[in-house]
Amino acid sequence: MAKRKENSTNMLNEKLIMECDLLYAINKVGGRWKLMILSKLQKRKLRFSEIKREIPTITERMLALQLRELEKDEFVKRTVYAEVPPKVDYELTAVARELIPVWRQLENWAKKHRKYEGVDHVTP
């Protein structure tokens, strides 16, 4: 799926950036949905449809895509149960859980400094 130009400057720049540990860490949970999904999994494991219910505005396509990436990067563990109808659930890995305190700090920083932009802030 979509692997046009392996040696475009675009690709090279992305590789360059990901060589840096910090940039790697930020970019792996960047994007619109990943942290949102991870935050929903903090309390307990959830099924696909449960996550979808928690984040109603995400499409199934995006949810599936993001979950695949999070799984590949070992932020979540996917478990398939041999049942019918099918049952799959997702849970945070230990590696992901280690990030929670760091997220809290980021959150506190944001709470403290961001300017009010006419929205109510939410803590997931």
Interface mask toward DNA for 9-28; x: CB under 7 A: xxx-xx--------------
For position 115 contacting DNA by CB under 7 A, the verdict is no
**Strand partners of residue 87:** 81
121 binds, among its own copies, DNA, none (CB under 5 to 8 A by kind): its own copies
Closer of 48 and 103 to DNA (Cβ): 48
For position 62 contacting DNA by CB under 7 A, the verdict is yes
> What is the rounded CA–CA span in Å between residue 106 and residue 103?
5
Closer of 33 and 75 to DNA (Cβ): 33
Number of Cα atoms under 13 Å in the Cβ half of residue 90: 25
Per-residue burial over 42-53, b if 16 or more Cβ lie within 10 Å, else e, is eeeebebeebbe
